[in-house]
Chains A and B, each alone.
Chain A
Amino acid sequence: MAMPISLRFALRDLRGGLKGFRIFLACLTLGVTAIAGVGSLGSAIRAGIDGNARNLLGADVEVRVSSRAASEQQVAWMADNSQALSLVRQLRTMARVPAENDRSGGNQTLVELKAVTVTGNGAYPLYGEAMLEPALSLADALAERDGVKGAVAEASLLARLGVKVGDRLTLGTEQVELRATLVTEPDRVTGTFALGPRLMINNQTLDDVGLVQVGSLVRHKYRMRLAPETDVKIWREKIDAAFPDAAWRIGDVKTAQPSVKRFVDRLGLFLTLVGLTALIIGGVGVGNAVQAYLAGRTETIATLKCLGAEGALIFRIYLIEIGALAALGILGGLLLGAALPMVALGLLEGELPVAANIAVYPVPLLRAAAFGVLTAFVFALWPLARAREVPAAGLFRDIVGGDRRWPPLRDILLLAISATLLVTLALTTGENATLAKWFVVSSVAAIAAFWLLARSLIWLLARMPRSRRPGLRLALSNLVRPGAPTAGVVISMGAGLTVLVTIALIEGNLNRQVQSRIPERAPSFFFIDIQPDQVATFEGTVARVKGGELVQRVPMLRGRVASINGKSADLYPVDKEGGWFANNEIGFSYMADMPEGTELTGGDWWPQDYAGPPLISLGDHIAEDLDIRVNDTITFNVLGRKLQARVANLRKIDWTRMRLNFAVIFAPGALEGAPQVHVATASAPKSQEAHLRDAVSKALPNVSAVRIGDVLDTVTAMFERITAAIRASAAVTLIAGVLVLAGALAAGHRRRVYDSVILKVLGATRKDVARAYLIEYALLGGATAVLAAVVGTTAAWTVMRFFMAGEWVFLPMAAGLTAGGGIVLTILLGFIGTWRALGQKAATVLRHV
């Protein structure tokens, strides 16, 4: 079969070489690599979670209750309905070096304590293997030997307390002996919020050391191995039917690690969108490259038209060429993107929450390819449509092109359809449509703003009085002459710089909040698990420490939401906004007076002597997420007792203030009789902090102290890991912008050589010409940087104000340095290109002109 004429002509045309398409390929490859890479990495992590779900959950099914154990009847049911039942209890507590071994004095730390079943068929772990060093069995390591109970700990605990295997630690009221270090813990998800290293003991030890008291913050996990043929769904229905009012949460391998998955999804979506920004910025480069390429082909196009080729054929020929090159760029991007997880996982070793499963994942690759195809098409369509309209008659005047006719309506419609498809694809990329929607709206707004600003700049410069200085005059006319790349460079470099300025400002603001604002007002410690009868001792102990001050003390209970306005909490998906509130055990408190500094956003606070039916005050972000209004009713399950409460008011919660705060606060009257603990914050001068902790720990061994500084460090470390990822992908957008700039400069190179030669012929020195170009690039870079600083600051302000509900301070250094870097980069790149132009010998050039 004969090759279609369009393909035949396209292949002949491509013999001319791919000069000018390097930037085109680089832009597409970069953007597609970013999207495909982020998508593949996310898929690898998700597959890692799914493939490892049984080990990570440590069971086929897990029943979780907090603060109290399941009833005997419930435990018996679980034992009867499984092949093996294993109890794991977790709490945060203090581990201390006993006074006789304490070389430095007062040596103690908060640990994440885990008590496990070690005997029978329910021995921990039900799945996977716990590895110890030396290689003991876990049962042996944790057993009581010569009247001393055993424990194993992560290596970091040994380092922190300066102890070694064989040493003892005080836990609650007793001592335990460290028998081994814990090398692997199969159900541990790393990188999640942990305030201390792991210490593991057996369940008997935990019962003996006096840490579990009524209302203590102990998480009980009843883990079961089910017969292989068990249908987990039916099993869950059975347990729900047997204990309809149980306030527990059940997890199975299908629902493993929803929070990690959600985190991976969100960060993945965010990074995909940043990648898409890079691709779209690169799209400007794609458009410029296609335009420059077709500009070089105008004579050929006009000739073909003279010989009888219709516009449609011309369009098809160049669509095939651009399509083939785009396919090459996209393919390159897909290959690099698919390989990215292997490189990234090597670099991120130990930073990821779970071991990722490296493979080729077609879905993210297909999505990246679709983004690439649509972006290339959207940006190439305009110049392609213009090529179709090239007037052939120009051949008779030897001036072809320069005709700025608009493409016909059908091409504009085609462009609108492809742009809509691109937007739709962006909107359906992740589950969080809100973020994607904001991204689309703000990027369209930013591009429109840059386009408008670029046009205004050109308009303004064109109308400025002509300078008498030839350098300045040349610079200005270079920026405003027809076909100058000013608008394209301002949009693409501007967009790249804007992303960087935005991120620099958000990061700066968050850092400022975490590091400089909080410590002024933050207390030194959180104290948890204070029993009601220990309150007086606790307060007395704090008061006796020099400079010690009780900042806040409130009762705390735990429970679950059973229903909201009669709708069962089970019906709220766990992975949707606000899902955690309906699906997790939450902590709440009760109080008569409105906490100091509270801002109500709806309803009224109850009178101090209120004594009516249960009322609650609810955090307004939860109300918004779950569409709860004042006077709606929420039914809670508090330690097995159903409690229906009416929402009396909604209030803003500023978690950054480091005050004890609760999503739900009850009015007095409903909870006083329920089992509860107290939590408190206390402060002391720096020099007395250790003393405060030791004094409380000595007086009340079951009370744990969490140093606020440690919490902030943990938060900061997590925050830094995330911002590093974001900064890396933001850099990709700037690279895209630089590519566009480089492309625009390369496209204008011939004209610059000609200009500089003519100027030199007319008597200008190299310095004169160089100065003119310097002014041009400085104007271009300066205007772009100023615009990027303005748009980026607006974007950062919007994010801080409306999405993070934080305070906003303009940080001129962060914005200035980032934007200033942009100017320097523009001038530098521009100059590298120009220097070559300046070096050209006039005679050589003129002979060929």
Chain B
Amino acid sequence: MVITSDAGATGSGGALVSLRDLHLTLDSGAGAVNILRGVDLDIARGETLGVVGPSGSGKSTMLAVTAGLERPTSGQVEVAGQNLGNMNEDQLALFRRKHVGIVFQSFHLIPTMTALENVAVPLELAGKPNAFDQARESLADVGLADRVTHYPSQLSGGEQQRVALARAFVGEPDLILADEPTGNLDSNTGAGIIDLMFGIRRDRDLTLMLITHDDQVAQRCDRVVRMADGQLQNTTQGLDADAASVSAG
């Protein structure tokens, strides 16, 4: 069963993301562990997808495979029309630079760089001449115009995650991958981050894959898939995210 969006963009034809029969097995000291066991998934351009499921079910691994950070043992990954299986490590890095923005649970800002520098990194890597101007705008978009020279250690958790959001969105990627972005934040701050994330996504009409433990957050997506034991089990229709955001606001 291929879990597709209602947009009906099955296969690589209309989908931004297309995962086909993904398997991933890792060797551990205790023997082989099957982390992904035959995942099929399509995400249409502009769609928001929530992924829920218990710890260790393979959510983050699926996200890493989609970002080209982890290679599946078998199966096919296609993102933005590119087959990741044919790329070497450096080509994958270039692919991420161009097409993917990632938001982590633990923020993963670079501690020796200021907020502005952290946000500018993807643009600098892409060789953009006005990287810092764009980064400044992006920080203003997340409400941190007055925090540009602060280092991560000088920012609160919520502020750090906002910097991470600015960094993920600044290069205008096709796809935003968010791995439990509120997991390390209190509920109020988390809600603010989610609003901000959905708001920017909506403004720029980006595609989002969001992993979360919070069903309410998941319900703000167009579609929610549940993962268990390395397999996608069912799909439900989410609420209208934008409507939810409006109602929350």
A interface residues (Cβ-Cβ under 8 A, vs B): 5, 8, 12-16, 299-300, 302-313, 391-393, 395-398
| Known contacts A307-B96, A308-B94: A396-B61 contact under CB 8 Å | yes
Contact B60 A303 (CB under 8 A): no
Q: For the complex, what is the distance from the CA of A392 to the CA of B94, rounded to whole Å? A: 14
Q: For the complex, what is the distance from the CA of A705 to the CA of B106, rounded to whole Å? A: 89
Partner of A310, one of B60, B94, B104, B108: B94
| Known contacts A307-B122, A310-B90: A395-B96 contact under CB 8 Å | no
Q: B208 to chain A: closest CB distance in Å?
A: 17
| Known contacts A307-B96, A307-B125, A310-B93: A13-B61 contact under CB 8 Å | no
Q: For the complex, what is the distance from the CA of A120 to the CA of B51, rounded to whole Å? A: 110
Q: For the complex, what is the distance from the CA of A394 to the CA of B63, rounded to whole Å? A: 12
Q: For the complex, what is the distance from the CA of A13 to the CA of B151, rounded to whole Å? A: 12
Q: A109 to chain B: closest CB distance in Å?
A: 74
Q: For the complex, what is the distance from the CA of A312 to the CA of B122, rounded to whole Å? A: 16
| Known contacts A5-B124, A5-B125, A393-B69: A308-B104 contact under CB 8 Å | no
Q: Kindly list chain A residues whose C-beta atoms are within 8 Å of the C-beta of B117.
A: 12
Contact B110 A309 (CB under 8 A): no
Binary per-residue interface labels of chain B (100-128) against chain A in the complex, 1 for a CB within 8 Å, 0 otherwise? 00101110111111000100011011110
Q: Kindly list chain B residues whose C-beta atoms are within 8 Å of the C-beta of A393.
A: 61, 64, 69-70
Q: Kindly list chain A residues whose C-beta atoms are within 8 Å of the C-beta of B20.
A: none
Q: Kindly list chain B residues whose C-beta atoms are within 8 Å of the C-beta of A15.
A: 112
- Indicate whether B167 reaches chain A with its CB closer than 8 angstroms: yes
Q: For the complex, what is the distance from the CA of A12 to the CA of B111, rounded to whole Å? A: 10
Q: For the complex, what is the distance from the CA of A396 to the CA of B106, rounded to whole Å? A: 9
Q: For the complex, what is the distance from the CA of A392 to the CA of B70, rounded to whole Å? A: 8
Q: For the complex, what is the distance from the CA of A137 to the CA of B113, rounded to whole Å? A: 79
Contact A16 B111 (CB under 8 A): yes
B interface residues (Cβ-Cβ under 8 A, vs A): 60-61, 63-64, 67, 69-70, 89-90, 93-98, 102, 104-106, 108-113, 117, 121-122, 124-127, 167, 179
Contact B96 A303 (CB under 8 A): no
Q: B195 to chain A: closest CB distance in Å?
A: 24
Majority SS at the chain A contact face: helix
The 9 closest A-B pairs by CB, nearest first: A308-B97, A393-B69, A396-B60, A393-B70, A310-B90, A393-B64, A16-B112, A308-B96, A15-B112
Q: For the complex, what is the distance from the CA of A5 to the CA of B124, rounded to whole Å? A: 7
Question: A15-B112, A307-B122, A308-B125 provided; 20 other pairs, C-beta below 8 A?
Answer: A12-B110, A12-B112, A13-B112, A16-B111, A302-B108, A303-B108, A304-B121, A305-B93, A306-B96, A306-B102, A308-B94, A308-B97, A309-B93, A310-B89, A310-B90, A395-B106, A395-B108, A396-B64, A396-B104, A397-B60
Q: Kindly list chain A residues whose C-beta atoms are within 8 Å of the C-beta of B94.
A: 308, 310
Contact A306 B67 (CB under 8 A): yes
Contact B60 A307 (CB under 8 A): no
Partner of A395, one of B95, B97, B104, B122: B104
Contact A300 B97 (CB under 8 A): no
Q: Kindly list chain A residues whose C-beta atoms are within 8 Å of the C-beta of B127.
A: 5
Contact A307 B97 (CB under 8 A): yes
Q: A311 to chain B: closest CB distance in Å?
A: 6
Contact B179 A396 (CB under 8 A): yes
Q: A670 to chain B: closest CB distance in Å?
A: 81
Q: Kindly list chain A residues whose C-beta atoms are within 8 Å of the C-beta of B109.
A: 303
Q: For the complex, what is the distance from the CA of A300 to the CA of B105, rounded to whole Å? A: 15
Q: Kindly list chain A residues whose C-beta atoms are within 8 Å of the C-beta of B98.
A: 308
Q: For the complex, what is the distance from the CA of A16 to the CA of B151, rounded to whole Å? A: 11
Q: For the complex, what is the distance from the CA of A16 to the CA of B102, rounded to whole Å? A: 24
Q: B27 to chain A: closest CB distance in Å?
A: 12
Q: A637 to chain B: closest CB distance in Å?
A: 75
- Provide a sorted-by-A list of 20 A–B residue pairs whose CB atoms are within 8 angstroms: A5-B125, A5-B127, A12-B113, A16-B111, A16-B112, A304-B110, A304-B125, A306-B108, A308-B94, A308-B95, A308-B96, A308-B98, A308-B126, A309-B125, A311-B89, A393-B61, A395-B104, A396-B63, A396-B64, A396-B69
Q: For the complex, what is the distance from the CA of A304 to the CA of B102, rounded to whole Å? A: 11
Contact B112 A307 (CB under 8 A): no
Q: Kindly list chain B residues whose C-beta atoms are within 8 Å of the C-beta of A305.
A: 69, 93
Contact A311 B96 (CB under 8 A): no
Q: A301 to chain B: closest CB distance in Å?
A: 10
Q: A116 to chain B: closest CB distance in Å?
A: 75
Q: For the complex, what is the distance from the CA of A5 to the CA of B60, rounded to whole Å? A: 30
Q: For the complex, what is the distance from the CA of A300 to the CA of B167, rounded to whole Å? A: 14
Q: For the complex, what is the distance from the CA of A480 to the CA of B125, rounded to whole Å? A: 41
Q: For the complex, what is the distance from the CA of A8 to the CA of B110, rounded to whole Å? A: 14
Q: Kindly list chain B residues whose C-beta atoms are within 8 Å of the C-beta of A392.
A: 69
Q: For the complex, what is the distance from the CA of A305 to the CA of B125, rounded to whole Å? A: 10
Q: Kindly list chain B residues whose C-beta atoms are within 8 Å of the C-beta of A311.
A: 89-90, 93
Q: B54 to chain A: closest CB distance in Å?
A: 15
Contact B90 A312 (CB under 8 A): yes
Q: Kindly list chain B residues whose C-beta atoms are within 8 Å of the C-beta of A396.
A: 60-61, 63-64, 69, 104, 179
Contact B125 A299 (CB under 8 A): no
Q: Quick one: closest B residue to A5, CB to CB? A: B124
Partner of B167, one of A5, A16, A307: A307
Q: Quick one: closest A residue to B97, CB to CB? A: A308
Q: Kindly list chain A residues whose C-beta atoms are within 8 Å of the C-beta of B102.
A: 306-307
Q: Quick one: closest A residue to B89, CB to CB? A: A311
Contact A300 B126 (CB under 8 A): no
Q: For the complex, what is the distance from the CA of A395 to the CA of B177, rounded to whole Å? A: 13
Q: B91 to chain A: closest CB distance in Å?
A: 9
Q: For the complex, what is the distance from the CA of A16 to the CA of B110, rounded to whole Å? A: 10
Q: B125 to chain A: closest CB distance in Å?
A: 5
Q: For the complex, what is the distance from the CA of A302 to the CA of B69, rounded to whole Å? A: 10
Q: Kindly list chain A residues whose C-beta atoms are within 8 Å of the C-beta of B70.
A: 391, 393
Q: A256 to chain B: closest CB distance in Å?
A: 59
Q: Kindly list chain A residues whose C-beta atoms are within 8 Å of the C-beta of B96.
A: 306-308
Q: For the complex, what is the distance from the CA of A305 to the CA of B64, rounded to whole Å? A: 12
Q: Kindly list chain B residues whose C-beta atoms are within 8 Å of the C-beta of A5.
A: 124-125, 127
Q: Kindly list chain A residues whose C-beta atoms are within 8 Å of the C-beta of B105.
A: 398
Q: Quick one: closest B residue to A301, CB to CB? A: B110
Q: Kindly list chain A residues whose C-beta atoms are within 8 Å of the C-beta of B104.
A: 395-396
Q: For the complex, what is the distance from the CA of A122 to the CA of B199, rounded to whole Å? A: 105
Q: For the complex, what is the distance from the CA of A241 to the CA of B91, rounded to whole Å? A: 78
Q: Kindly list chain A residues whose C-beta atoms are within 8 Å of the C-beta of B97.
A: 307-308
Q: Quick one: closest B residue to A398, CB to CB? A: B106
Q: For the complex, what is the distance from the CA of A300 to the CA of B102, rounded to whole Å? A: 14
Contact B122 A308 (CB under 8 A): yes
| Known contacts A392-B69, A393-B69, A396-B63: A308-B93 contact under CB 8 Å | yes
Q: Quick one: closest A residue to B59, CB to CB? A: A396
Q: For the complex, what is the distance from the CA of A305 to the CA of B89, rounded to whole Å? A: 10
Q: Quick one: closest B residue to A312, CB to CB? A: B90
Q: B164 to chain A: closest CB distance in Å?
A: 10
Q: For the complex, what is the distance from the CA of A311 to the CA of B108, rounded to whole Å? A: 18
Q: For the complex, what is the distance from the CA of A720 to the CA of B61, rounded to whole Å? A: 69
Q: Kindly list chain A residues whose C-beta atoms are within 8 Å of the C-beta of B63.
A: 396
Q: B87 to chain A: closest CB distance in Å?
A: 12
Q: Kindly list chain B residues whose C-beta atoms are within 8 Å of the C-beta of A307.
A: 96-97, 102, 121-122, 125, 167
| Known contacts A299-B108, A306-B108, A312-B90: A8-B122 contact under CB 8 Å | no
Q: For the complex, what is the distance from the CA of A95 to the CA of B113, rounded to whole Å? A: 83
Q: B38 to chain A: closest CB distance in Å?
A: 20
Q: Which of B90, B98, B108, B126 has the most CB of A within 10 A?
A: B108
Q: For the complex, what is the distance from the CA of A288 to the CA of B126, rounded to whole Å? A: 33
Q: A68 to chain B: closest CB distance in Å?
A: 82
Q: Kindly list chain B residues whose C-beta atoms are within 8 Å of the C-beta of A299.
A: 108
Q: For the complex, what is the distance from the CA of A16 to the CA of B67, rounded to whole Å? A: 29
Q: A19 to chain B: closest CB distance in Å?
A: 12
Q: For the complex, what is the distance from the CA of A308 to the CA of B170, rounded to whole Å? A: 13
Q: Kindly list chain A residues whose C-beta atoms are within 8 Å of the C-beta of B69.
A: 305-306, 391-393, 395-396
Q: For the complex, what is the distance from the CA of A299 to the CA of B107, rounded to whole Å? A: 11
Q: For the complex, what is the distance from the CA of A302 to the CA of B67, rounded to whole Å? A: 13
Q: Quick one: closest A residue to B90, CB to CB? A: A310
Q: A297 to chain B: closest CB distance in Å?
A: 9
Q: Kindly list chain A residues whose C-beta atoms are within 8 Å of the C-beta of B126.
A: 308
Q: For the complex, what is the distance from the CA of A391 to the CA of B61, rounded to whole Å? A: 13
